[in-house]
Structure 1
Amino acid sequence: MATRIRPSSKRCAVIGGSGFLGRHLVERLVEKGYSVAVFDISQRYQVPGVTFHQGDLCDKQALLKVLKDVSLVFHCASPSPACDDRQLFWKVNVEGTRTVIQACQEAGVQKLILTSSASVVFEGTDIKNGKEDLPYAKRPIDYYTETKIHQEKVVLEACSKEKDFLTVAIRPHGIFGPRDPQLVPILVDTARKGKMKFIIGDGTNLVDFTYVENVVHGHILAAEHLKADSPLCGKAYHITNDEPIRFWDFMSQVLIGLGYDAPRYHLPYSLVYGIAMLLWMITCLLRPLVNIKPTFTPMRVALAGTHHYYSCWRAKQDMGYQPVVKLQEAIARTVASYPHLRKEELPFLGQSEAFCISFGCVFSEIRVD
């Protein structure tokens, strides 16, 4: 017998709904007949029928106004992983999330779906077909990951069948797609500056890249399957395209699709990692005297030169997840959505100049989360 759906089950709120993932999620929820309210620090678009509320994530009273008569909340607000402000990460990802939980419980919200990250288990070494039972990273790769670990723990521990408040965490990895303000625009900018000529390592390391529509699909499936008698309660789930691809092959396909040359010269991973470690140590020694924010770090080298892909078996078993858009189609759609980023005629960089630029900065701005 089908479970009876509560009258308010399609009234939802998307916290962080003005962001890249949030906007795609909002649009899909509307298509599926949900009544949607968005809470974010700013409003960047309009969707007919969607109400927007601007406010601070740590303001519980502002949240309570939005969550009145809402049964389902998606929490996907977070500073960009490229940010270097630890206090901001802690305020939004940890303190803000605690406030969200309190507001949800006071407002009678029944389900909270968190956008977490697969990087919560990544420490800079190979992960192949990683499952959700991997331990949290003891040495998180950055402030973003450190606070996402705290955030996920807080959300999953708040799950309570007795209080009729159920939670689940979705762990996507390498989200990309149309309107992405990070991966593709930064990749193109890096190529235009002559920094994408070199491959770190032998180029065979496999990584998960996940099309944004598949991430949205995973979130909605989690919301629809999260019930008191389901295995989702208080659990984390990897959501990817389930098609690991060589890191540098993915980058090359995007670059070639937009008219740029693919990286072709190899640099030994151990050499690049060693240089990055040396630069990081020098930065630490100089920090009392000079405030330096390095972009060429050991962990960013690790992201570009190690295997890190994850199993979706649990999501397939517990909520019937299957990617709705295959990887090659996703790449083609993404490239087609950025006609304004296609290659223009640029001044020629000599080989030696390009090497100097690339070696010091290769892949320094791009972060695969």
Structure 2
Amino acid sequence: MATRTRPSSKRCAVIGGSGFLGRHLVERLVDRGYTVNVFDIRQAYELPGVSFHQGDLCDRQALLGALREVSVVFHCASPAPASDDRALFHRVNVDGTRTVIQACLEAGVQKLILTSSASVVFEGTDIKNGSEDLPYANKPIDYYTETKIQQEKLVLEACSKEKGFLTVAIRPHGIFGPRDPQLVPILVDTARRGKMKFIIGDGSNLVDFTYVENVVHGHILAAEHLKADSPLCGQAYHITNDEPVHFWDFMSQILEGLGYSAPRYHLPYTLVYGIALLLWLMAVLLRPLIQIKPTFTPMRVALAGTHHYYSCARAKKDLGYQPLVPLREAIVHTVESYPHLRKGA
């Protein structure tokens, strides 16, 4: 019987490599001397040293083509949370992840690094310096997060030293940076429609926002430190900028950097939450007759008005993680990358 060639430790695959985080990850891996296969539903760019494989995440045979002779797989494919497509969330985050695990095992992949989310432990109430020991949310903030919880469990439970298949989950929070298709464009669109005038609560709530390069750094550290005798096996790690910031200060810095007015008027948190809850209940009751999608859901209000920031102590200890780009510098880089979104552009 022919012996199986051991995959090179510098050969990896990025599932979801055409997306926002995925592309930044691919670029950094290439810079570090990795040979990269990208698997995605679409090809969004070309890069020397990168092979692109297009296909459906639930197609195991298509995945196997991208995982051949690969040692490390980064799984960061996920639908945009704002899409509100429950069937898509389950298909990609749960069914797709099962397929990824099966394909990794069949292809002889040694390491799987998942992009999870710190929100898997958030239930709409304050979290201050939360550790990875917090339990999964019994009442997740939305269905997207519910599927991310299922996804993370699947990946971490698949870790098997006996099979030579090691897994770890990275939990970033509030990713932002150049080419971000969500946070900055949505913020600017809201401002242009005159709907960024109000601060929910007193504005004192602290939240983690994480620059994309720091998230990438955390992923690569996890891949390079994940070994059978390491504490990483089957564990989750928070990766943030480690600089909790007032939620509305962060939003204001982005808006003002692009020439828009920052929100100034305060609305009581309990009032806005109560209105959002009432609108959500009305939407549920009227669902058989008419489809209503309230702009403000109770959980979106909670995201804007509560403390939720997380400790990176475990990542510092086990991965040697330190953010590469401080928050102030990250905001400047991000604002400069959106000249087309400036007021008057």
TM over 0.5: yes
Equivalent AA in structure 1 for residue 120 of structure 2? V
How far apart, CA to CA, are the structure 1 residues paired with 2:228 and 2:77? 26
Q: Which residue of 1 aligns with 2:25?
A: 25
Give a deviation string over 1:243-262, Cα, whole Å, max 9, x none.
00000000000011111111
Matched, 1:317 2:304: no
Equivalent AA in structure 2 for residue 103 of structure 1? A
Q: Which residue of 1 aligns with 2:231?
A: 231
Q: Which aligned pairs between 1:209-288 and structure 2 lie closer than 5 A?
A: 209-288=209-288
Matched, 1:131 2:168: no
Q: Which residue of 1 aligns with 2:145?
A: 145
SS in 1 for 2:81: coil
SS in 2 for 1:128: strand
Equivalent AA in structure 2 for residue 137 of structure 1? A
SS in 1 for 2:301: helix
Equivalenced residue count is: 340
Q: Which aligned pairs between 1:334-345 and structure 2 lie closer than 5 A?
A: 334-344=334-344
How far apart, CA to CA, are the structure 1 residues paired with 2:294 and 2:65? 41
Native 8 Å contact 2:7 2:71 kept in 1? no
Q: Which residue of 1 aligns with 2:97?
A: 97
Q: Which aligned pairs between 1:154-169 and structure 2 lie closer than 5 A?
A: 154-169=154-169
Give a deviation string over 1:3-34, Cα, whole Å, max 9, x none.
xxx76001000000000000000000000000
Shift of 1:293: 2.2
How far apart, CA to CA, are the structure 2 residues paired with 1:31 and 1:183? 27
Q: Which residue of 1 aligns with 2:115?
A: 115
How far apart, CA to CA, are the structure 2 residues paired with 1:244 and 1:214? 14
How far apart, CA to CA, are the structure 1 residues paired with 2:295 and 2:7? 50
Give a deviation string over 1:211-238, Cα, whole Å, max 9, x none.
0000000000000000000000000000
Native 8 Å contact 2:63 2:100 kept in 1? yes
Task: State the TM-score, normalized to the length of structure 1.
Answer: 0.91
SS in 2 for 1:271: helix
Q: Which residue of 2 aligns with 1:38?
A: 38
Q: Which residue of 1 aligns with 2:82?
A: 82
Q: Which residue of 2 aligns with 1:198?
A: 198
SS in 1 for 2:23: helix
Equivalent AA in structure 1 for residue 326 of structure 2? K
SS in 2 for 1:196: coil
Alignment RMSD (CA, Å): 0.8
SS in 1 for 2:89: helix
How far apart, CA to CA, are the structure 1 residues paired with 2:299 and 2:148? 16
Native 8 Å contact 2:24 2:212 kept in 1? yes
Equivalent AA in structure 2 for residue 176 of structure 1? F
Shift of 1:273: 0.2
Q: Which residue of 2 aligns with 1:348?
A: none
Equivalent AA in structure 1 for residue 99 of structure 2? T
Shift of 1:295: 2.4
Shift of 1:294: 2.2
Following TM superposition, the consecutive aligned residue runs of length 4 or more in structure 1 with deviations greater than 3 angstroms are none
How far apart, CA to CA, are the structure 2 residues paired with 1:294 and 1:76? 29
SS in 2 for 1:82: helix
Q: Which residue of 2 aligns with 1:329?
A: 329
How far apart, CA to CA, are the structure 2 residues paired with 1:68 and 1:149? 28
Give a deviation string over 1:109-144, Cα, whole Å, max 9, x none.
000000000000000000000000100000011111
Native 8 Å contact 2:171 2:239 kept in 1? yes
Identity of aligned residues (%): 84
Give a deviation string over 1:243-299, Cα, whole Å, max 9, x none.
000000000000111111110000000000000000001111101111222221000
Q: Which residue of 2 aligns with 1:70?
A: 70
How far apart, CA to CA, are the structure 1 residues paired with 2:246 and 2:293? 29
How far apart, CA to CA, are the structure 1 residues paired with 2:59 and 2:256? 46
How far apart, CA to CA, are the structure 1 residues paired with 2:7 and 2:78? 31
Shift of 1:49: 1.6
How far apart, CA to CA, are the structure 2 residues paired with 1:36 and 1:251? 35
How far apart, CA to CA, are the structure 2 residues paired with 1:293 and 1:100? 33
How far apart, CA to CA, are the structure 2 residues paired with 1:257 and 1:217? 26
How far apart, CA to CA, are the structure 2 residues paired with 1:201 and 1:295? 18
